């Protein structure tokens, strides 16, 4: 582990790549640290040259010893945080362990300049000690939520979620929820397909819904029954569109109906009907963002009786209609395009009658007009805006509407497209 952590880091900073810094300290939780290394630190040539740049910053001096007696080498100390675009705080060494004031100050400074900071599991206590979570929602492992709320009453602790936060400050629940949060960041930075690729390498789901319902201790299924259920889950994922009954599933698992229901709920925390519904909804959601299929076709492929049934359950589960979800979470063509759409690529003018006067309207896309948006803060250039619009208004055009489409990339809000609808009399 020591050597691998050192090999996977890259001390030199390349401005065009997103710099992820993971904290390391004595008593570091090995699993949570490994999640950060696995997702952000491994070379991924299939992602091209713009993948994350990863380094490890030591909080304490001297050789560091993580849980399990594993010793770590790092790339530097807290000074590395000044270079970070994202900081990962793995599980802290103890919920009652004090957090160094220097670390709190470094994190506060990083957050103030727009650095994204996330915590995994008990790492939330570091963010809380730094005062970053005051007045915000936060979560942690279900064993620590009461302690977090008691020590930091100004934080709104959310128990039944995998992760929570905003674009620049996020916290995750228990250890494995850190995978969900880190995959969420990959999805935000590089898109759903990239997150899916990383998830497949990890052999995990690209996106899990729900919260910490797994916290209830349940008996472990007998090994033979566990194997049968595993085979059944594989079968169901491949045949979600088919019709299934409890009797047919129990028969396929080689169990009696009562035993099957008991073992299924022990393994999943859900009834077979509920599990099937949620898996079908997840598959439908994937089709909505990754295909152009219509709702009828998606409903059929995912095992819903009709498009209306899909709409009903989708809205209940996600609080959005399928079309609203597709519109909100599918990357816009402008954001996905590698070639900026400029004035020369505007749509064909359309003539129409407005207030008894024949007018022509034209839609124009202009990318990068006002410069970048750095962590959501507009870096506007009014002169460019004025010059651009005046070139049209001098010819009699009127600006009817303007909107901005943005996509957050791994470095900052580097892509924005400005949509103008202009009109003039014929």
What confidence tier does 162 reach under pLDDT thresholds 50, 70, 90? confident
For the segment 263-273, the average pLDDT, to the nearest whole number, is 85
Arch. (CATH architecture) of 2-202: 3-Layer(aba) Sandwich (3.40)
**Domain residue ranges in the chain:** 2-202, 213-329, 338-425
Higher pLDDT, 19 or 211: 19
338-425: CATH topology is: Alpha-Beta Plaits (3.30.70)
* Cα dihedral value 108, 378, 195, 141, nearest 10: 30
Q: Are 397 and 424 in contact (CB under 8 A)?
A: yes
Q: What pLDDT is stored for residue 373 in this prediction? A: 36
- Indicate the range of 158-162, 209-213, 344-348, 418-422 predicted with least confidence: 344-348
Residues 117, 310: Cα–Cα separation, whole Å: 37
Output the average pLDDT for the chain: 76
Please choose, from the candidates 313, 316, 251, 308, the residue with its C-alpha nearest in 3D space to the C-alpha of residue 276. 313
Would you say residue 372 has pLDDT above 50?
A: no
Residues 55, 145: Cα–Cα separation, whole Å: 30
Would you say residue 305 has pLDDT above 60?
A: yes
Q: What pLDDT is stored for residue 400 in this prediction? A: 62
What confidence tier does 217 reach under pLDDT thresholds 50, 70, 90? very low
Would you say residue 35 has pLDDT above 90?
A: yes
Q: What pLDDT is stored for residue 111 in this prediction? A: 92
Q: Give the Å distances, CA to CA, from 112 to 10, 109, 222, 377.
A: 25, 5, 52, 12
Q: For residue 103, what are the contacts with CB-CB under 8 A and spacing of at least 6?
A: 23, 59, 78, 126, 130
Residues 21, 88: Cα–Cα separation, whole Å: 6
From the candidates 29, 65, 115, 121, give the one annotated as an active-site residue. Answer: 121
Q: What pLDDT is stored for residue 292 in this prediction? A: 85
Residues 237, 42: Cα–Cα separation, whole Å: 29
Would you say residue 231 has pLDDT above 70?
A: yes
Q: What pLDDT is stored for residue 22 in this prediction? A: 96
Q: Class of 213-329 per CATH? A: mainly alpha
DSSP codes of every residue in 126-160 = HHHHTTTTTTSEE---TTTHHHHHHH-TTSEE--S
What confidence tier does 207 reach under pLDDT thresholds 50, 70, 90? low
The percent of residues above 70 in pLDDT, for the chain, comes to: 68
* Tokens encoding 240: 């979600």
Q: Are 151 and 113 in contact (CB under 8 A)?
A: no
Would you say residue 146 has pLDDT above 50?
A: yes
Report the half-sphere exposure of 139 (CA within 13 A, side-chain side).
Answer: 22
Residue whose token pair is 């994937």: 286
pTM of the model: 0.51
Q: What pLDDT is stored for residue 245 in this prediction? A: 94
Q: Are 58 and 121 in contact (CB under 8 A)?
A: no
Instruction: Check if 213-329 and 338-425 are the same fold.
Output: no
Would you say residue 129 has pLDDT above 90?
A: yes
What confidence tier does 309 reach under pLDDT thresholds 50, 70, 90? very high
Residues 91, 178: Cα–Cα separation, whole Å: 10
For the segment 25-54, the average pLDDT, to the nearest whole number, is 89
State the DSSP H helix or E strand holding residue 272, giving kind and residue range, or none if neither.
Answer: helix 272-290
121 is known as an active-site residue: yes
Would you say residue 172 has pLDDT above 60?
A: yes
Q: For residue 262, what are the contacts with CB-CB under 8 A and spacing of at least 6?
A: none
Residues 374, 358: Cα–Cα separation, whole Å: 42
């Amino acid at each position: 582990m020591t050597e691998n952590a050192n090999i996977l880091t890259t001390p030199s900073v390349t401005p065009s790549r997103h710099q992820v810094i993971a904290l390391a300290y004595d008593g570091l939780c090995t699993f949570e640290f490994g999640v950060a290394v696995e997702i952000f630190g491994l070379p991924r040539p299939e992602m091209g040259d713009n993948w994350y740049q990863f380094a490890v910053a030591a909080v304490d001096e001297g050789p560091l010893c993580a849980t399990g007696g594993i010793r770590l080498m790092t790339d530097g100390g807290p000074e590395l945080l000044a270079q970070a675009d994202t900081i990962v705080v793995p599980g802290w060494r103890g919920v009652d362990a004090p957090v160094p004031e220097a670390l709190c100050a470094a994190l506060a400074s990083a957050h103030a300049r727009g650095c994204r900071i996330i915590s995994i599991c008990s790492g939330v206590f570091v963010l809380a000690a730094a005062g970053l979570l005051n007045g915000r929602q936060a979560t942690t492992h279900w064993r620590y939520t009461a302690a977090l709320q008691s020590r930091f009453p100004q934080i709104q602790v959310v128990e039944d979620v995998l992760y929570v936060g905003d674009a620049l400050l996020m916290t995750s629940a228990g250890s494995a929820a850190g995978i969900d949060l880190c995959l969420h960041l990959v999805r935000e930075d590089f898109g759903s397909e990239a997150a899916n690729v990383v998830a497949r390498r990890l052999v995990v789901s690209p996106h899990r819904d729900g919260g910490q319902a797994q916290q209830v201790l349940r008996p472990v299924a007998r090994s033979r029954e566990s194997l049968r259920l595993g085979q059944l889950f594989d079968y169901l994922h491949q045949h979600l569109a088919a019709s299934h009954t409890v009797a047919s599933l129990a028969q396929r698992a080689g169990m009696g109906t009562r035993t099957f229901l008991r073992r299924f709920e022990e393994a999943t925390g859900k009834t077979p009907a509920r599990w099937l519904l949620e898996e079908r909804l997840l598959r439908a959601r994937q089709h909505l963002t990754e295909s152009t299929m219509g709702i009828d076709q998606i409903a059929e492929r995912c095992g819903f009786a009709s498009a209306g049934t899909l709409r009903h359950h989708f809205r209940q589960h996600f609080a959005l209609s399928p079309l609203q979800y597709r519109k909100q979470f599918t990357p816009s063509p402008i954001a996905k395009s590698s070639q900026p759409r400029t004035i020369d690529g505007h749509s064909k003018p359309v003539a129409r009658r407005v207030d008894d006067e024949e007018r022509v309207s034209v839609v124009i896309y202009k990318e990068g007009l006002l410069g970048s948006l750095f962590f959501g803060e507009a870096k506007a250039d009014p002169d460019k805006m004025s010059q651009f619009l005046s070139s049209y208004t001098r010819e009699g055009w009127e600006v009817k509407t303007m909107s901005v489409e943005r996509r957050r990339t791994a470095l900052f809000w580097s892509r924005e497209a400005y949509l103008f609808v202009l009109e003039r009399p014929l």
